[in-house]
Amino acid sequence: MTTTPQFFPQTGISLWENWHTQAHQRLDLAYQQSPHLHFDHNGRFIFFSDLHRGEKNRYDFFAPNENIFRHALTHYFHQGYTYIELGDGDELWYNNFATIRRAYSQLFDLLHQFRAHHRLHLIVGNHDSERGMFDPMEKEGIPLHQGLVLHHVPSGRNLFAVHGHQAHPKGDRYWWFQRPHSRYFVKYTLPFSASRYHFSEPEDGLPNRQHLANMPRRVSNRVLRFAHQLEGAILSWAQEKRQATICGHTHLCAFPDPQANPPFFNIGHCSTPGYITGLEIADGELALVKWKTDNTGVHQRTVLRQMAITAVPPSRPLPQTS
């Protein structure tokens, strides 16, 4: 069944077209404000997104995964990886940063170790800020960037890493309304729904899109429809710019088929108890990985999907920076 598009009065512009136009403009601005990072086959990066660190109370869905995450990040630190936190590292719509910092002091100490070795990049997400999304921001002196453009020198491939809220009107342009609404209303309803309706655990090979567990699939698809539309807005921008894109925000893992042009990656999230997902770049390969703890308490890493960087289609020329 085809849905008839809605239009603004006397303009003939569909809401869908206007939404995509605004999303493209905000992603353009994020790209323009993003630093560029060159690397070769020896470059190693680990991306995690959507931790939503809180105060270790009933509203903090990252707390059950703290040990898994700290184990994984310590592993990557000792293996020489650069850590890129791709937005929504902290849940500042519900909490204050000082209380989050006290709750996760060991984890923040680890972040500062990455920084001391010049191996840390923080990307801003909509839940990382208490003010406008394009205002300068930092956490304990560590700057937050709108995104990051990674340029693989041997192949000339570009990867644009961005949180993805720029394609979400409530998460970006209208944050001033969404944040207090979330802090004083949504926050107190989440424990009742999240205790039952977590995201399904991604399977090896990603044969199926994730859904909300313990919920009928048809209902889950309706609930997640807007998340898929957000992905569509980001993907349409990536297609227009011929730019491979890595994002988070929707919490839904995505890894492209080799023939996809341009590739679209979503690294998932770290806030469903029992597992975390991330994206690795190492030895010229991109890999979507899952970390979880088995029945004996051993932390396990599983590669869900992978592809060579050289399989990423060439994108537009890297702009010259001053």
Residue 145 CB burial class (10 angstroms; 0-12, 13-18, ≥19): middle
Query: Tens digits of per-residue pLDDT, 4-30?
Result: 333 333 334 344 457 788 889 889 999
Spatial CB neighbours of 129, under 8 Å, sequence gap ≥ 6: 92, 135, 137, 144, 175
Q: For residue 142, what are the β-bridge partners? A: 139
Q: Is residue 256 part of a domain?
A: yes
Q: Is residue 49 part of a domain?
A: yes
Domain interval for residue 226: 15-105+114-311
Q: What percent of the chain has pLDDT over 70?
A: 81
Q: Is residue 293 part of a domain?
A: yes
Q: How far apart are the first and last CA of the chain?
A: 50
Q: Is residue 316 part of a domain?
A: no
Q: Is residue 284 part of a domain?
A: yes
Match 């341009």 to its residue by tokens: 262
More confident residue, 177 or 155: 155
**pTM for this one?**
0.87
Domain count, the chain: 1
Q: Is residue 300 part of a domain?
A: yes
More confident residue, 60 or 3: 60
Lowest-confidence region among 58-67, 179-188, 228-237: 179-188
Give the separation between CA 289 and CA 196, rounded to whole angstroms. Answer: 25
Q: Is residue 156 part of a domain?
A: yes
Give the separation between CA 276 and CA 304, rounded to whole angstroms. Answer: 12
How many of the other CB atoms lie within 10 Å of CB of 58?
A: 13
Q: Is residue 306 part of a domain?
A: yes
Q: Is 284 a residue whose pLDDT tops 80?
A: yes
Using the CB atoms, write b or e for 203-219: b if 16+ within 10 Å.
Answer: eeeeeeebbbeebeeee
Query: Tens digits of per-residue pLDDT, 204-221?
Result: 999 988 998 888 888 888
Q: What percent of the chain has pLDDT over 90?
A: 58
Structure token pair of residue 40: 């070769």
Query: Tens digits of per-residue pLDDT, 223-269?
Result: 899 899 899 999 999 999 999 999 999 999 999 987 778 889 999 99
Using the CB atoms, write b or e for 185-199: b if 16+ within 10 Å.
Answer: eebeeeeeebeeebb
